[in-house]
């Protein structure tokens, strides 16, 4: 190779860069009300197979492209979906869904058999669905999942093409929310069988029965589109023609793209959220997720002392943590069960079960409790390790908690930030002293949180145990399961016990700070995953 030819080539490349620089992109914003929006997502889709979906962002897309028996609606209500109506037997065990005549995007009808097929597929061990446990309350699901029974024995039945009957093990009043989730969506057996292991691997190897159709996702790329599905039963009501998705992994990039009208929605975090609080488009979407501290009572006997736990809980200034440290859209906690997730007769569960001391901050009180506790366990000082994941938010949170806890005389706290998965495994095996955890609800019912703290629940890492609490949770799931009021009261009492005994320390409730362009109307946001529904959205 000769040097001069190389130099010329370089010259050409440079020149073209300069020339092209002149014709930069023009702003896509025009005055018309084109029914098209651009949506930011922090991660790309990992799979569109609803049996194998485990992340929030894939579920979010699936909620746009497919539909289950019911659809989540505002204020803890459900709207009809593929089922136009449903009824529950008196004992609460049999749920009958009457399906409408709706179609897949290939024109074939969506029938009760598609639900039977999908649910059996998720539960059978061969599919290896990591979310199969969510079906646990459906008759025989556990036995099938363990490989001890044939999938055909699952408590679901198609009576004709348009009646779908589900039999539960125990009454479950929130089952209506569960069937709105992607894991419970129907699957087109022909398409699943055609693609086998590749099913859901890209936008064409799938079938859709929801408001939109997924286009342009090749299995690994970062941009794709949701295009209006003309075969959707309620297509008349769907106003948006296109939703352009873009996976943006750098928050500042997303903000810049929003500011140049390339995106109509973007999430914000940390300082970016704080800097944009006065923006007209700034919105905080509360999430049914609590970040909390767990005390390992199995490993550290001193943590079995309630005064020590209370002292530590009171020492942490949650207000400062939310406003100055985390800075995003996070909100002050009211308890373990997050606020604005579950309401009954217009009253929020978190308000009804509120125990001031459980989430309060008061250093003088804290010192008193802690000193009393130390005395009771016969110790002069305690040295504990605080374990958290190694992402930015976890690091900030653990550093702050450490700084607050060391204000207690006689307490020494060392931080340990390790990769998320390692942290999970260690905490599951009680290899920690204090741990930073977070729980995101699968469905908007308090039981989703309260179940975690029952003695020997696999997620009760700290092994907190309280007989009264266990009894109340059990009662809410058994004898009171069909009595809405009694069930609700059981759960309120349980949460109060948990907070009074400081079984854990709620630090904050997560909220998603975001910019949503004010011209985009009607996007429905929920506290549980899938977070958004665009079926009724429009540009005005």
Partner 1 sequence: MVKYLGKRIFYIILTLFIVSTITFFLMKFMPGTPLTNQAKLTPSQIHQIYKQYGLDKPVWQQYLVYLAGVVHGNFGVSFQFSNQAVSYLIGSRMGPSLIIGGQGMIVGVLLGLVLGSLGAVKANTWIDTTSTIVSILLVSIPSFVLAVLLQYYLGLKLRWFPIADWGGFIYTVLPTMALAASPLAETARFMRTEMVDVLSSDYIELAKAKGLGKVGIIYHHALRNSLIPIITIIGPLTVNIMTGSMVVENIFSVPGIGEQFVKSVLTNDYPTIMGLTIVYCAMLCVVLLITDILYGLIDPRIRLSGQSN
Judged by the rule CB under 8 A, the positions of this chain that interact with partner 1 are 1, 3, 6-7, 10, 13-14, 16-17, 20-25, 27, 46-47, 49, 52, 54, 125-133, 142, 145-147, 197-201, 218-223, 246-250, 252-253, 256-257, 259-260, 262, 419-422, 424-425, 428, 458-459
User: Residue 534 and residue 240: Cα distance in Å, rounded?
Assistant: 8
CB of 220 to partner 1, least distance (A): 5
What minimum distance in Å lies between the beta carbon of 217 and partner 1? 11
Min separation Cβ 168 and partner 1, Å: 19
- DSSP tag of 213: E
Comparison of 43 and 161: residue with beta carbon closer to partner 1: 43
Cβ proximity to partner 1, 14 vs 235, nearer residue: 14
Tell me the two tokens of residue 20.
């092209």
For 350, phi then psi, to 5°, come to -60, -35
The candidate with the shortest Cα–Cα distance to 488, out of 443, 459, 450, is 450
Q: How far is the CB of 449 from partner 1 (least distance, A)?
A: 16
Q: Which is nearer to partner 1, 94 or 142 (CB)?
A: 142
The residue (of 149 and 377) whose beta carbon lies closer to partner 1 is 149
Query: Considering beta carbons, is residue 107 or 196 the nearer one to partner 1?
Result: 196
Integer Cα distance of 227 and 13 in angstroms:
38
CA distance 111 to 103: 9
- State the minimum distance, in angstroms, from the CB of residue 108 to partner 1: 23
* Distance separating the N- and C-terminal Cα atoms of the chain: 60
CB of 391 to partner 1, least distance (A): 9
The contacts found for 43-48 with CB under 8 angstroms, 24 or more apart, are 43/247, 43/249, 44/220, 44/221, 44/222, 44/247, 45/217, 45/224, 47/200, 47/201, 48/200, 48/201, 48/202, 48/203, 48/206, 48/214, 48/217
Least distance in Å: CB of 481 to partner 1? 22
Q: Tell me whether residue 374 is exposed, middle or buried, using C-beta atoms within 10 angstroms of its C-beta: 0 to 12, 13 to 18, 19 or more.
A: buried
Least distance to partner 1, CB of residue 21, Å: 5
409 CB contacts (<8 Å, ≥6 apart)?
A: 367, 370, 371
Nearer to partner 1, 12 or 346 (CB): 12
Strand pairing report for 83-88 and 156-158: unpaired
CA-angle at 337, arms to 332 and 340, nearest 5° = 70
Report helix, strand or coil for 510: strand
Of 178 and 401, CB closest to partner 1: 178
Q: Toward partner 1, which CB reaches closer, 131 or 354?
A: 131
Residue 132 or 293: which CB sits closer to partner 1? 132
Exposed, middle or buried: residue 175 (CB in 10 Å: 0-12, 13-18, 19+)?
buried
3-state secondary structure of 237: helix
DSSP secondary structure letter of residue 399? H
Toward partner 1, which CB reaches closer, 282 or 459?
Answer: 459
Question: What is the distance between the alpha carbons of residues 368 and 115, in angstroms, rounded to a whole number?
Answer: 58
By beta-carbon proximity to partner 1, the closer residue of 119 and 369 is 119
| Partner residues linked to 41 by β-bridges | 247
CB of 116 to partner 1, least distance (A): 20
Nearer to partner 1, 16 or 152 (CB): 16
What secondary structure does DSSP assign to 146-207, as a single string?
Answer: TTSS-GGGSSEEESSSSEEEEEBSS--TTHHHHTTSGGGS---HHHHHHHGGGTTSSSSSS-
């Amino acid at each position: 190779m000769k040097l001069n030819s190389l130099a010329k080539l370089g010259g050409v490349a440079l020149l073209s860069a300069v020339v092209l620089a002149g014709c930069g992109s023009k702003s896509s914003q025009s005055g018309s009300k084109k029914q098209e929006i651009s949506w930011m997502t922090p991660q790309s889709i990992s799979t569109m197979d609803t049996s194998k979906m485990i992340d929030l962002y894939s579920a979010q897309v699936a909620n746009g492209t497919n539909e289950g028996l019911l659809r989540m609606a505002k204020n803890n209500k459900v709207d009809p979906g593929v089922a136009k109506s449903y009824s529950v037997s008196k004992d609460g065990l049999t749920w009958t869904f009457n399906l409408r005549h709706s179609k897949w995007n290939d024109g074939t009808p969506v029938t009760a058999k598609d639900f039977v097929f999908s649910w059996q597929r998720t539960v059978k061990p061969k599919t290896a669905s990591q979310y199969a446990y969510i079906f646990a309350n459906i008759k025989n699901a556990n036995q099938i999942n363990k490989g001890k029974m044939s999938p055909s024995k699952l408590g679901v039945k198609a009576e004709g093409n348009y009646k779908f009957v589900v039999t539960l093990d125990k009454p479950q009043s929130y089952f209506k929310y569960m069937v709105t989730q992607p894991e419970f969506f129907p699957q087109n057996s022909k398409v699943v069988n055609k693609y086998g292991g590749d099913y859901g691997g890209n936008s064409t190897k799938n079938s859709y029965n929801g408001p939109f159709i997924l286009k342009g996702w090749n299995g690994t790329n970062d941009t794709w589109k949701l295009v209006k599905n003309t075969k959707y039963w309620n297509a008349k009501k769907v106003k948006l023609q296109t939703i352009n998705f873009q996976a943006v992994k750098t928050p500042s990039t997303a903000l810049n793209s929003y500011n140049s009208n390339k995106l109509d929605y973007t999430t914000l975090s940390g300082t970016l959220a704080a800097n944009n609080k006065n923006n007209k488009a700034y919105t905080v979407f509360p999430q049914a997720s609590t970040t909390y501290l767990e005390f390992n009572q199995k490993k550290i006997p001193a943590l079995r002392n309630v005064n020590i736990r209370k002292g530590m809980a009171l020492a942490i200034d949650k207000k400062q943590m939310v406003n100055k440290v985390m800075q995003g859209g996070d909100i002050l906690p009211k308890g373990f069960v997050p606020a604005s997730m579950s309401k009954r007769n217009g009253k929020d569960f978190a308000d009804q079960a509120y125990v001031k001391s459980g989430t309060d901050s008061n250093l003088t009180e804290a010192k008193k409790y802690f000193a009393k506790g130390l005395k009771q366990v016969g110790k002069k000082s305690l040295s504990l390790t605080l374990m958290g994941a190694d992402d930015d938010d976890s690091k900030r949170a653990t550093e702050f908690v450490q700084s607050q806890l060391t204000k207690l005389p006689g307490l020494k706290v060392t931080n340990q930030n390790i990769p998320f998965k390692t942290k999970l495994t260690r905490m599951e095996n009680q290899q920690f002293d204090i741990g930073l955890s977070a729980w995101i609800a699968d469905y908007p019912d308090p039981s989703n949180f309260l179940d975690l703290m029952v003695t020997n629940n696999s997620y009760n890492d700290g092994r907190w145990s309280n007989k009264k609490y266990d009894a109340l949770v059990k009662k809410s799931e058994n004898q009171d399961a069909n009595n809405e009021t009694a069930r609700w009261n059981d759960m309120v009492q349980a949460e109060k016990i948990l907070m009074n005994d400081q079984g854990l320390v709620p630090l904050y409730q997560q909220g998603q700070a975001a910019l949503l362009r004010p011209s985009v109307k009607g996007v429905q946001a929920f506290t549980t995953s899938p977070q958004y529904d665009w079926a009724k959205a429009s540009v005005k």
